[in-house]
Structure 1
Amino acid sequence: MSGPSHGAEQHRGDGRGLPRVPAAFTPSPAAERALQNLPPLVVLQAPRGYGKTTTASAWLRRPDLPDHDLVWVGLPPRAVGRDEFWSELHDAVVRAGYDDPGPVLDGRGLGLAAQKRFRHLVIVVDSFERLTDESVDEELVDLAQRHENLHLVLLTRTVRPVVSLARAAAPEAVVLQPSDFVLTPDQVRQLGEELGVPVTERAAAALCTGLSGWPGLVRVALLTASFGEDGEPVVDLFSIADYLRIVLQDLSVDGVDAVLTSLAVPESFTPELAEQLVGAENIEQMEGILVRMRRAGLLVTKGEGTFAYPVIIRDAANLLLREDDPARYWRLNADVARLCRGAGQFPEALEHAMRSQDAELVAEVVEESWQGLLAADRGKLRDALGHLQPAALAGSPTMVALRDHVAPPELPRWFLEAVQSDLPVIQPGSSTLAIAHDEADEPGVSAALLELAHVLLGEADTVGAAYACYDAVRRATDDDERLVREAGAGVALTTALLGQLQGASHWMDWVLERPDPPPGPLETVARIVVPAFLRLDRLDDVDLPERPPDLPESHQWLETLVVYVWVGRSLHLGRPAEVLGDVEQYRDRNRHRPGTWLGQSLLSAALIDLCIATDQLARGREIGNLAGPRRFESGLLRAALARLALYSGDDQLALDLTRDAPSIAPVRPRVALKLSLVRTVAAHRTGQRALAQEAMHLATRIVERTGMLRPFLLVPRADLENVAAGLPQSKALLEKLDEAAVSGPFPEAVRVEPLSGREIHVLRELATGRPVPIMARRLFVSESTVKTQVRSIYRKLGVHSRAEALERGRLLGLLPPQD
């Protein structure tokens, strides 16, 4: 094969019996390497659509191959016996101008005919799988070895004895199987370009994975794709499904349709699960079918004893099943849902329950596993609730709570407005505010709402948790005083976290004024955290207990709220390095406890602030990265990451992380204030004065409404003063801070100027540890130029040594992390 693709002049056959080569054909690297000359025997074994015929045709067009005659034999589309096979080959050789090999129907005459011509004779047998007599395989291997001028090329969709015989008995033979034909992402992009279908690197990788690199399926996907709003190709599953139908016909085994479509229902399966799904009538054939499917590229190994379809092929197979036998599709999904429930795989159980069209099963899965579903995929849980009838949604206290607080895509406007008005205290049973469902609740709804609030708070949905606690108070009765106090404490705790300090104070006072049963976990923590937030935010002294509160094991993660305010107080008392060590020990000791996202994010935020205070910025960045992809979802953690970016000199990242400060300010003023102050400094340092004043003005308005002063101590004061010079209210606010006589806990933030492209190259050379003379030779500049650029790098990064420059470069993402 002379190149990666073949032009339009090769679309047609070349008059020698060679099939056409599509204009956008790209041979696989394995085929390119293997087919460099004329081996005595070539076996190309792969299912339909892997490009066997095109690969052979492109290879035999190569102008650098030895001079040869070509005979291309396509076996008829039916079973072919031994005698007919040899007769087909004899007739084809005679038509090509060779002497009649004689009446004996075997290969000896073909070899002699090739010898008489003193020319290479290439005989290609297409659709070799149609030959029924497998003894011919051994004859062909022997024939190719005996006659130097004879070359046999066998194209087969199924695995035949010739595959193993060629490898064992013919050292010079070439055997290519499905894995040798699959496309790489780069080839998919090239194929898309030649077909006029632009494919990004990400989309190419997704097609390769989703279709196992199957060339025919990839081509179908590209040719029939539409395009989404992001410009990425959207696969037409109907076209893929139509192609799969043809592949199933090629497998020609009874029951293969039922096996293939049944096993596409679960995300993955074991042989044991396969037996449960395929039906008793297909179990005997199942093992052979699975072997054929794996050879055909329809299955991939996910782990020891576990198999799965590539994702796009699986979706197409599900489409076939849904179209051909919807009742079986629904039944199999219900079976898989029950199996997933038994295995504790609740998101998968819900997905299959919804596909089964069995509303009762969906309701059972939701009620049984809503806590895990809420944490794993709230959108899927909301979709499931949307498919249930009103009677099912009112069937239990839990379902009522989920109906009113999870099913709606947004919180009610009245509640958000009430939060901004400090969330007035209400009495149990109050109905002064309109809500979505005002019918009488059955007993237990308030308890279900309180349980929901715990889960929402753990998922860092502080506003949703506040609404659930508030509604629990509203729907409760005075008979259950402990529940009322616990829900009221939940309102106080969540509003304090949000920064609605006056509302939090009123609700905490209301709780403490009520009859005094033993406090629940929310009240236990709220008694410590709410007063601490109120005093800490207003720069007053804070008293905290020496020991953590005694909480039930399932709620011990609430301790992290106490740790968070304790770290906040400790930052202003000195000894941040000692506190950092203590908090890390606390984290390590409690890794075994059940955790929540809020607990993890608060602990990470506290550790990052301590790293800033101890000038361990790289360590702070590592802690942020360990929080995972959700680290920007939690407001308080994102605020800490924005501060870390600011103190690291990455002003642009600080600006990126603080864009939404104005939009969240009405309901979440604590996070908005922290973000707006970081934004003020970052904008000032990047010369965006108007943006800096806008952010400073927002921060000032938040303080005027809430009284939170402490966040002003967490950013560089000099920058705030420069911005506030033109804002009288902001300037007066800073003067009020001076009266408090509380200093900020952090060192001066790094001031970094952007490095030029050449300076970044020099910085990367510095990271290798090479001496200046070698660096100069590698960069094709003089030593004095390198030294000048190094000094410039030090100045721009605000450092004084190579080690500091490398640390700062890694912190800013200019260098890869150190191993």
Structure 2
Amino acid sequence: MAKKVPATLFWSGEDRQYIWQKEGNTEKRERLSAQEHVFRLLDEDTSFSFQGQQGHLTLLKETRVRGGDGYWYAYRRQGKRVVKKYAGRPIDLTIVRLEELALAMQAETIQSEPAQPSHLSPSQHPQPAPSTLLQQAPLLLPKLHPPRPTASLLSRERLLARLDDGISRKLTLVLSPAGFGKTTLVSDWIAARHAREVSSQPVAWIALDANENDPIRFWHYLLVACQTFQPNLGESILPVLRAAGQPPFPRLSLETILTGLLNDLACMPGRGILVLEDYHVIQRSDIHQAMSFFLEHQPTNLHLILMTRSEPPLPLAQLRAHDELVELGAPHLRFTQEETRAFLRQALPFPFEETLLDQLQRRTEGWITGLRLLTLALRGYESFSAWEMEQRLAQISGSQRHILDYLVAEVLASQAEPMQTFLLQTTGLVRLTGSLCDTVTGRDDSTFLLEQIERANLFLLPLDESGTWYRYHALFAEAMQHEARRRLGGASLLATQSRASRWYEQHDLLSDAVEAALRARELTRAAALMTRIVESQPLLHHQELHTFLRWLRQFPEEILRESPTLSETYAMALLFTTQQRTFALKPQFEKYLQMAEHRLRALGDLPRLGEGLTLHALLSGHVNDHATAIRCAREALKMLPDEERFWRSLALDMLGIAALVAGRMTEARQIMHESWKLNPVPFEKSDARRSGSLIQQSYLALGVGHLEQAALLLRQVLDLVVDNLTDRGTALLGLSTLSYEWNRLSEAEQYIQQAYALHAETRNEWLWLQSATLLARVLYARGEHTQAQDVLQHLSPALAQPRYSREIELWLAHFALASGDLVTAQRRFAGQQTITQDETPLDIMHEQEQLLAARLLIAQGEERKVHQALSILACWRAEAQSQARLRSEVEVLLLMTRAYERLRRRQEAKEVLKEALTLAQTAGYQRLFLDEGAEMAALLKGMVSEVRAPLQVAYLRTLLRGFPTVQLSPTPASGDDVLEPLSPQERRVLGLLVAGRTNPEIARELVVSLNTVKTQVKSIYRKLDIGSRHEASEVVRRLGLL
């Protein structure tokens, strides 16, 4: 392995790119994006070095005994041995694949070496540092610090031992109602472990609150907290996390992000403990699902502790079954009578009668917060007799809520008046610091008072080592707020929140300022603050849309009508916070878009209105309302100035997509070219942008009949996207369409089933409809006619758009006509025409309806009606030619062939059919002919004696073999009549071959790898039965192949 390699592919942290460099040539470098294939750079190389973000590898190519491109293997040294892993075929060598290999092999290295324990104290462990993540969405760092351990009066060895026992499992669940000491127990356990030097495992701690019910925000916090284990952990995941919540691209599943985080955690040195406090505040099902995935794949060097008041919807039963869970519930946490006795002896300055102890234990049931409050309330009653004390305790009765309210009132009464006022004024603050409390209370000694409260054990928890930030115990704060409303009045508490909001604003904590303003019911001010947040960066770049949506739902419509920014944000948040983007969402988000547009028109702000209309087009496109998307995009382009390149490009994108869906290929190509020139986002910096571009190009290629090119582009999409479910489903649908056209029915069905599975998550009605209709066509082609009709009939009631119902009826009429049931076909077609359609019907849909009308006329057989059909077909052939729709033109020609045959104009029928064969051969269409049934089989069989060109003969025989009832004459033993057709790409390679180009020159010309060219040359040689370039030139000349 000491052998030098001719090239190196390495990650440049300075350039934030991958760079390919040949040995000895430092001047010539090639930069690559993470999704690019490496094989195109290899030429004749059989080895290279990879120095990626996840580790270093050496790649060697091993040739196959039977020839071919060979296979690549990755090597990595582990101590004295070398580990080898299969990397794949040349085409498999993407940078993503190499990083995966480096990560997997590095993880094996770490697992094979004994962990080296660290001897850092808790204070020496690296703390979460502000990363690039914080620049995108500021996080409150005190939430990421464990509370300082309290000066506990009671050691609970039985519980500490139970927590020790859990460290070897995946999860420790501390589950109890409020006030049972969950936070105190875990923080004391962490401190005790470090004090005993049992372990120096670093601890990542997150104090969750309701604001973390935003998936992006939640995982931001968790990722930054985990940087406690290793300062740069998860840095490579941050761009993906940002993209996950960034419209206009479809929201990504979090599994890819979590996979990267879990991989980083698995590779970190040593072990770590992750603590999530107050997990019960998390209500979102998508966060619970992601946490379930995290738990399922949690690495062995990480232990998770969840503290919660209610059982979370996580796979706890599975964890119990595998002995991966330790649970501490209220029965474990409540004080036993012995612990209550020991606690009271240390907490009270006077003895406690045993009878009173029994009574107290029955009343409080070992509830720790109640006992702590009781000791505070009883201070000053040392002179009471046992009887007087018993009378006092008799007042403590009822539920914990009543006991709590009573004891808090007693604790407050025992404080001096200034301290009482301070506690009541500050109890509504989520977190406290001296400066904030000074602003809220009007005092200048809040820092001193906070220190006093902490020393007095009045349920104030420090959040950092410096004692700068604190928070009240949640249960104590809740009861104090009840008391504050009673004593100070609601108006005073609202004023407190108002002052807090202004303090947050002055300290650039705008999110906290909005929250406090909402609690103060200052909705106009909250709206102004939120507008500042939204306008701080382009609207489509915001991530925390779940948080925005929660805020916006608190504003009355009067405020939203006056603020185009907020009403547009509301519309965007409604759509992009759900995976289920169905047509039914349209009235919801359109209401707020129209509010914004009305206000902007009133203000006369046309450029800003152009942005709003572009957003309207974008959101409409996402629910497949292409008519509205077209109208809004066209209007937007009239208003957007030339310098607004991003918004103009987005509007053009929507028009291009609409043109594609409508089948206007020439128009789509022109629009897309203009959009790509305008868009300032390079493809290599945005997977979502690149994926969208590849899909547009592939469907354009599909529409104009370049099927091989479409297949290549669609496979690139599948390689590029994993969690972008909409793009993945669209690519699978395209591949299934191609497989159907090539008569590979089983393959088509497999792709369809995969696309169907994605529908369950995305609820994309267009994807659902197209998958269902294609599945029905596959079933019908197999002869499963009833099943094909059932698929469509069950689908129709579930779709919201009338256009979709028209399309279903169209296919049901097709099936009826193909089965010979003309009456049913005519009835369904007539019914289909009565269904309301879009105000701008799609050209391709209108074409299919008109072609079905022509089919029905031909099927009736009357000369007048057949001539009428030919008139319709002539119009649509011209339309197909003008828009470069090759498939449409071939279908029209096949129907014209049948029409001429009905009129007994057989020579014209043969000429038109021959033209159809010539056009269809280049793309390899088969189902177009096969779906026409036995009549077309007979017509094609009659063409065998008419066709002379070898490739066309071979294509014709392939078609005839696809008909179940056609018997072919034996294949001639020799001759060019049975040459296997060349694909369009092979024809291009053949042309360059006979022109004298070398293989490397062909690779550069066609922008493919050298290995790909070699593979295609071998395929050409096999199909033409030749062995050299000279023979290729002779065959081309003799047969006129080019």
By the TM > 0.5 criterion, same fold?
Answer: no
TM-score bracket for the superposition, by shorter chain length: 0.3 to 0.5
TM-score normalised by length of structure 1: 0.39
Answer 1 or 2: higher relative contact order, Cα 8 Å, separation at least 6.
2
